[in-house]
Amino acid sequence: MPKFVTQARDVLRESLLAYWGLLKIMVPVMIIVEVAIRFGLVELISIWCEPFMSFFGLPAELAVVLATNLLVGLYGAGAALVAVAPELELTVANMTVIGGMILFAHALPMEQTIVRKTGTSFLFSTFTRLFAMILYGWLFNWIYSSLDVLQEPATILIAAGADNTDDSWTGWIISSLTGLFWIFWILLFLISLLRILDVIGFTRIMTKVLTPPLRLIGVGPNAAPLTIIGILLGLAFGGALILREVEKGVLKPKSIFLSMIFMGYCHSMIEDTLIILAFGGDLSGILIGRIVLSIILILPVSYVVLRLSDDTFNKFLFSAKKDPKAV
């Protein structure tokens, strides 16, 4: 069998498996949000959250998207967005702001559990992600509003097929099935693109580019390549690899800590960025802005942590005991 056919078959199989996993997340969330809309719960949540969401220049209704994202993750947020987007007039700036907020802090129960297992403080690492989310939302809303840019209507691919003209349950089911149909093709495109980037050596190139800056902020030579995997492919991937090395005792605690904090700010730069593009976000914020802000935020953390005594560091920020010869 030709190699291209084998690779195409593998991509299709991977896409179908991933899609099935997404359906198990998205369909329940879509049903819950739709029920909440019809019983007025989303409207009630919107009233409560309006002062908070207005701080970011966002419609109050997007609070349910943000809350779902914090608990479930990007695809749960996408399901909530599919439900509420047809009723809103969202701009590219809106979707870039909430998209970046989503990228900084999502699926916290799952991802922060991985962070905690490495020995990194659960409370501190969660605080850094939530702080980054709030700072990003305020800052980029201010930038886009002040410059009056990205104010055109957003094209939300993940909500393709959503229709707000038929309020019946039948209309909602048809609209939702149409949206889920298009989400499969978006997912297939994302997985295909990731495979292409891997084949052309993009990951290897980025590893060479990012290793020196990571060493400068205190991420040691053994942790740097693993951190880069997390930055490019996701905290779950990078965190799992870091955790494996933690168990071997080959990494310094401060190197582990800084690696996990930076990965909290900046991870899954390929897949998650493409997903938020499908949400209607702009690369200026969700890629360039996220990278720049992540670097700005990690610098003071690194400066302080590298100057803390080991006793103070282990008491307040790190719980595991590692081999002092680790790097």
Residue 115 lies in a domain: yes
| pLDDT, mean over the chain | 84
Give pLDDT tens digits for 222-273: 777 778 878 887 887 677 777 777 777 778 899 999 999 999 999 988 889 9
Instruction: Decide which of 39 and 77 is more confident.
Output: 77
Q: What is the mean pLDDT of residues 6-24?
A: 80
Structure tokens at 258: 């800084």
**Buried (b) or exposed (e) across 243-274, using 16+ Cβ within 10 A?**
bebbeeebbbbbbbbbbbbbbbbbbbbbbbbb
Q: What is the mean pLDDT of residues 203-212?
A: 76
Rounded to 5 degrees, φ, ψ at 91 are: -95, 170
Give pLDDT tens digits for 44-79: 877 888 999 999 999 999 999 999 899 888 888 888
Residue 293: what pLDDT?
Answer: 97
Residue 13: what pLDDT?
Answer: 87
Residue 52 lies in a domain: yes
Residue 324: what pLDDT?
Answer: 46
Residue 8 lies in a domain: yes
Residue 323 lies in a domain: no
Q: What is the mean pLDDT of residues 25-35?
A: 78
Query: Which contacts of 44-49 are long-range, i.e. CB under 8 A and separated by 24 or more positions?
Result: none
Q: What is the mean pLDDT of residues 195-219?
A: 78
Q: What is the mean pLDDT of residues 160-186?
A: 71
Residue 322 lies in a domain: no
Residue 327 lies in a domain: no
Domain containing residue 43: 3-316
Share of the chain above pLDDT 70, in %: 91
Q: What is the mean pLDDT of residues 132-143?
A: 98
Residue 70 lies in a domain: yes
189 — pLDDT class (breaks 50, 70, 90): confident
Number of structural domains found in the chain: 1
Give the Å distances, CA to CA, from 187 to 59, 88, 151, 191: 27, 25, 27, 6
Under DSSP, the state recorded for 284 is I
* Nearest CA-CA partner of 251 in 268, 226, 273: 226
Residue 327: what pLDDT?
Answer: 52
The structure's pTM equals 0.83
Beta bridge partners of 153: 91
Residue 32: what pLDDT?
Answer: 82
Give pLDDT tens digits for 139-165: 999 999 999 999 999 998 876 555 555
Residue 166: what pLDDT?
Answer: 57
Residue 69 lies in a domain: yes
What is the distance between the alpha carbons of residues 44 and 54, in angstroms, rounded to a whole number? 16
Instruction: Decide which of 1 and 21 is more confident.
Output: 21
Give pLDDT tens digits for 78-115: 888 988 888 889 999 999 999 999 999 998 988 898 89
